[in-house]
Amino acid sequence: MSGGVPGSGEPSTRRSRRSDPEPAPRALATRADVARLAGVSSAVVSYVVNDGPRPVAAETRARVLQAMDQLGYVPNASARNLRRGSTQTLGLVVADSQNPFFGQYTFELVKAAERQGKQLLIADSREDAAREADIVDNLVAQQVDGLLFTSAFARVDRSRSLRLAGIPTVLIDCPGPVVGRRTVGSDAGGAAEMLVRHLVEHGRTRIGLVIGHRGFGDPDPREHGWRLALRSAGLPDGPIVRVPFTREGGFAGAQALLESADVDAIFASNDIQGVGALLALQQRGVRVPDDVAVVSFDGTEESRFCWPPLTAARQRIPDLAATALELLGTPDTEAGTHVSLPTDLVRRRSCGCGVAEPDPGVAAELQLPDGEDAGDGGSASAAVAT
């Protein structure tokens, strides 16, 4: 393209200065190559690339740009990061990237970071403390400008993590404040209360809880909120089952609940447990919501497209992501700061809403796609051919 002699000004046989036996076999153009081709010094190229601290004559700039284009020059990020103290990179440590909630969270974080011109290094600790320590070491070595953790282990101050000194850190998906750390999370306790209260309004009285073990010994606010709502409704405590935060966990949890207790509703502490529970119920022929209602916490796409669609407390993931990045970007905020965002009750079919006669208020949610978030996949555009 752009009629330049094709292959005239190649990167030149560089690296023939002294000894040093070719550490890099690849042949990417370097700043010096561009400078040589444009007939200027290497500083000028830098000024052009960065709209540098010194002005460059229009004609010279054009020559440099032309040379850059011809060589396909891309500045070496390693060298840049080395020279500046900062990579424009943030590290994200997720406990389970296969959970769609974290998947969506990650996606929103990436988008938010992109808006700031930063990029994310994403790693999955798979709930393994040793792996997490390695990951942190690696991220520190990569000179990340900040660190985001969903992993519960992050609360432990392990000896190696003294290296974090100086690197701003924010814990996301955090139910409450943690001493010495800045944290972001949804009001899970309030969400649990809201959901249970909603079930009570539907006349449910024997509400079981499917929940898991958090990495730490601290009490799960969802459990607390569930208990609180039951008591304030004058109901006895319901059965609890603790299973992993997975689809299989929810499946097993619902089975256990059905076998050993008499429940007319199940509160699953995240969406995938809820989906697992639904499957267990359906397989046994238990009707949802007629026999047993199900609600869950998260409100991801998966809760919207399962059958029946799950009533859920939806976390405001885009807001959470934006808040986390904002907090990370202002390292002078006090350690111990916790930002709690509310959740939204999304009423769908699994709790009993809209089964008999659809409440017009919830019709939009019950009838998919939602109109507002429906992309070009809207029903109107689907044409059948043959």
Partner DNA sequence: GCTTCGGATCTACACGTGTAGCGTCCCACC
Partner DNA sequence: GGTGGGACGCTACACGTGTAGATCCGAAGC
| Interface ranges with DNA (CB under 7 A) | 14-15, 17-21, 23-24, 30-32, 39-44, 46-47, 49-50, 52-60, 73, 75-76, 79-80, 82-84
346 lies in the binding site for a copy of itself (CB under 8 A): no
Other C-beta atoms within 10 Å of 246: how many? 18
Q: How far apart are CA 163 and CA 135, in angstroms?
A: 13
Which among a copy of itself, DNA, none contacts residue 20 (Cβ within 5 to 8 A by kind)?
DNA
Which among a copy of itself, DNA, none contacts residue 19 (Cβ within 5 to 8 A by kind)?
DNA
Residue 351's contacts (CB-CB under 8 Å, 6 or more residues apart) are: 198, 199, 202, 265, 289, 293, 294, 295, 311
State in angstroms the smallest separation of the CB of 176 from a copy of itself.
Answer: 23
Stretch near a copy of itself under the rule CB under 8 A, chosen from 31-39, 183-191, 192-200, 270-278: 270-278
Q: How far apart are CA 225 and CA 237, in angstroms?
A: 12
Stretch near a copy of itself under the rule CB under 8 A, chosen from 33-41, 162-170, 214-222, 291-299: 162-170
Q: Which of 3, 53, 166, 234 binds a copy of itself (CB under 8 A)?
A: 166
83 lies in the binding site for a copy of itself (CB under 8 A): yes
Q: Which of 9, 103, 190, 215 binds a copy of itself (CB under 8 A)?
A: 103
Which among a copy of itself, DNA, none contacts residue 255 (Cβ within 5 to 8 A by kind)?
a copy of itself
Stretch near a copy of itself under the rule CB under 8 A, chosen from 41-49, 114-122, 179-187, 290-298: 114-122
Q: Judge whether 67 and 76 are in contact, CB under 8 Å.
A: no
Q: Judge whether 125 and 92 are in contact, CB under 8 Å.
A: no
State in angstroms the smallest separation of the CB of 40 from DNA.
Answer: 4
124-133 burial by CB neighbour count: b if 16+ within 10 A, else e?
bbeeeeebbb
329 lies in the binding site for a copy of itself (CB under 8 A): no
Of 153, 119, 118, the C-alpha closest to 135 is: 153
Per-residue binder mask for a copy of itself (CB under 8 A), 184-203, x = binder: --------------------
State in angstroms the smallest separation of the CB of 74 from a copy of itself.
Answer: 5
Q: Judge whether 249 and 238 are in contact, CB under 8 Å.
A: no
Q: How far apart are CA 312 and CA 120, in angstroms?
A: 29
Which among a copy of itself, DNA, none contacts residue 53 (Cβ within 5 to 8 A by kind)?
DNA
Q: How far apart are CA 25 and CA 16, in angstroms?
A: 12
90 lies in the binding site for a copy of itself (CB under 8 A): no
For 110-144, the DSSP string reads: HHHHHHTT-EEEEEE-TT-HHHHHHHHHHHHHTT-
